[in-house]
Chain A
């Protein structure tokens, strides 16, 4: 088991390095850097001015060197600029003094500066993650019980009318992406169009003070899309369990149907959905980006969009490191959890 986790961790770190390198390369392509220079400096810069701006700030070093510096395995640059100023990476592009560290990268905990928000990336990422965490918590609270109840109800009598109706409902919910359900929900419940203006169409106020009125629509929008998928997986696993030998034995012994479902079937039927819920996180991240943009809730997803559309390199890298780790860690948890929950699987 320990070796298994260790190997998975190794693959995880390798994946993270590859992914961040891809993001790093794509954001550091010359047209992107040129745009960055022009938005940071001024829009009427000549080509020479752009080059000297970028050289002075270390953007035109070889890509691997830059990546090493960002990662913190190579010493940060100290460049005597063509404009006479000395800039050091570890001193936030000011003249270095004796306190300035040699290495300053992700490993040392230096996430760099956001060029759009003019703040520390680590600060931005942590506050935004907190806001998104609040959203995700409520999404989970709505989605997981809802999906499990629907899935178990549908799966306990395969082919019955309840099963078919609930399956159709879950198909409908998987077929409704967030930007469709969000738009429809806002139009119906937040505008006077249908006379049912019960909720607020933006969640900006929910960042400080979340209440039912302003937080219900974003939460339900994300939850709906994921709910159908988890419900279908739960149903599949439940129908499989209900045809198992030990359930038949229990029925032949005369155990009542509710007892069979609650005491015999449910525990084994919930193993597969656990994995699915964990693997659902990457998709939820996607939904979070859409919903936060739609409802103007300034969380992690909103930050991703801002960073990506403004080519804010360090912020974008920070965001992708976090999201890649979220994805990989949930995969790891789902693997380990599967082994722990299912006594039939033992990995040597």
Chain B
């Protein structure tokens, strides 16, 4: 097989057109920025024929042209993606083949966007997201990786090779390198993004890495929120000694340099003492407490309903809890082996626990601040006069009214958790070295960065796009929720 070029036969037509359009667009934007800086403020001017003009002159025309150019660039990119789907293998170059591999993701994205935009007026805050361009771009980036992880993790689609498959002769080879003839198995004929230091396919590893990130980051963030909410609400609502003590503990954890904490928690010697297992046992109780109190505070006057709901939620949760916490090789082996269906690899558990541990004090501080603010409102006073219990007030009066900032922070925090996971991987802590997660892959790649730069770049760009998407999404959500 021939090595693939980046753009294949599109290279002669569409790609140069795109490059020129993009370059002119960027130049236009910069020019516009510079001019906009000196121009007077935008004022609506009325023309003599009764129409309104937003901004006239050279700058106004530039804005219009830039708008057209941006549409052209988007159209060209879409054209390249679509055209490459219909080209035979190898003709569309590396970019075309990658876009072909992502076909299920594109379809899922298009379906999501068409459905959401059609029904956006009925979808509440989620629907409003589709009014802001920034929010839409962020949402598209996030959903791209969500769908990728779903299709890779559940259906095993997208990836071209096994993430651990080594094929001799492709060690550190550049993108588009063909798999040599005479292999035992029928492999995908190229390494689309080249091979890494151990001759594994970088493209497949990046795609598989998204699964790990997508499983750990949101889950860890949810746990951090459970811990933060369960401790932050009473601290803010009651104040006093409890608040002082909890805030001191939170500040204590926050004053730790994160990396030192990771090194202290994640080294094999500490793992051997079982410390992370105890921490997991402690931190994983919080969802149980949270849901128990949430239901009990609402239905405690309706005995039978209360018992039913509590049983429905708590029994599965408690079952999950013992399943997760108790493991054969952990010091907390309390559950019979035959009933233990979930075994979390100790590396993942350690990483999970330390990320939750680092994140929860910040969530605690945010929730505490919100509770301090909201507890002075009239509806809280009304609930107090009605004689509602304190937990009812905290969880059913204060918490729902704090949801706006919490949702925004949740998005930001998933991004931050992704960064933390990457940091752990970057220092080779926690996850096994052959794990395809982005941090570990960057760590692998950076060791030979000055000689072979291509293995480290794709995971770095993947991580960047994902975190950027979450940040843009949070920004869009904030903007839209402020408009109310």
Contact = CB atoms under 8 A, between A and B. Distances in A.
Given A29-B270, A187-B453, A289-B257, A180 B463 contact: yes
Contacts of A250: none
A325 to B, nearest CB: 10
Contact of A193 (B36, B41, B446, B453): B453
Interface in A158-183: 160-162, 165, 167-168, 171-172, 174-177, 179-180, 183
A27 B265 CA distance: 10
Interface in B236-267: 248, 251-252, 254-260, 263-265, 267
Contact of A183 (B264, B275, B445): B445
A179 B471 contact: no
A80 to B, nearest CB: 29
Interface stretch (B219-227, B335-343, B391-399, B415-423): B415-423
A184 to B, nearest CB: 6
B464 A176 contact: yes
Contacts of A309: 263, 267
Contact of A328 (B255, B264, B457): B255
A162 B34 CA distance: 9
Given A175-B464, A201-B449, A308-B264, A161 B32 contact: yes
Given A183-B445, A320-B257, A171 B269 contact: no
Contacts of B265: 26
A293 B446 CA distance: 10
Nearest to B138: A171
Contact of B446 (A294, A324, A331): A294
B467 interface: yes
Contacts of B422: 177, 179-180
A260 B460 CA distance: 43
Interface in A1-52: 11, 14-15, 18-19, 22-23, 26-27, 29-32, 34-35
Contacts of A190: 450
A31 B257 contact: no
Contacts of A14: 248
Interface in A294-348: 294, 301, 304-305, 308-309, 311, 316, 319-320, 323-324, 327-328, 331
Interface in B260-314: 260, 263-265, 267, 269-270, 272-273, 275
Contacts of A320: 256-257, 260
B33 A193 contact: no
A265 interface: no
Interface in B411-465: 415, 419, 422-423, 426-427, 439, 442, 445-446, 449-451, 453-454, 456-457, 460-461, 463-464
Contacts of A35: 269
A290 interface: yes
A168 B479 CA distance: 13
A285 interface: yes
Contacts of A81: none
A308 B453 contact: no
B259 A304 contact: yes
A150 B472 CA distance: 18
Contact of B260 (A23, A180, A184, A193): A23
A32 B266 CA distance: 12
Contacts of A167: 475
Given A168-B134, A180-B463, A183-B456, A304 B257 contact: yes
B257 A183 contact: no
B257 A29 contact: no
A316 B267 CA distance: 14
A286 interface: yes
Contacts of A264: none
Given A193-B453, A290-B426, A327-B257, A31 B468 contact: no
A148 interface: no
B301 to A, nearest CB: 43
B269 A32 contact: yes
B29 interface: yes
B420 to A, nearest CB: 9
B42 interface: yes
A203 interface: no
B269 A31 contact: yes
A26 B264 contact: yes
Contacts of A162: 33, 36-37
B442 A285 contact: no
Nearest to A191: B453
Contacts of A282: 254-255, 257
Nearest to B474: A171
B471 A319 contact: no
Contacts of B419: 177
A29 B273 contact: yes
Contact of A27 (B36, B254, B264, B423): B264
B66 to A, nearest CB: 10
Interface of A: 11, 14-15, 18-19, 22-23, 26-27, 29-32, 34-35, 153, 157, 160-162, 165, 167-168, 171-172, 174-177, 179-180, 183-184, 186-187, 190-191, 193, 201-202, 282, 285-286, 289-290, 293-294, 301, 304-305, 308-309, 311, 316, 319-320, 323-324, 327-328, 331
26 contacts: A11-B248, A15-B248, A19-B252, A26-B275, A32-B269, A32-B270, A160-B42, A161-B36, A161-B63, A167-B475, A177-B419, A180-B442, A180-B461, A183-B442, A183-B457, A282-B255, A286-B259, A301-B259, A305-B427, A308-B259, A308-B267, A320-B260, A323-B257, A324-B257, A327-B255, A328-B255
Interface of B: 29, 32-33, 36-37, 41-42, 63, 134, 248, 251-252, 254-260, 263-265, 267, 269-270, 272-273, 275, 415, 419, 422-423, 426-427, 439, 442, 445-446, 449-451, 453-454, 456-457, 460-461, 463-464, 467-468, 470-472, 475
Given A282-B257, A304-B257, 5 more contacts: A162-B37, A175-B467, A177-B419, A180-B442, A323-B260
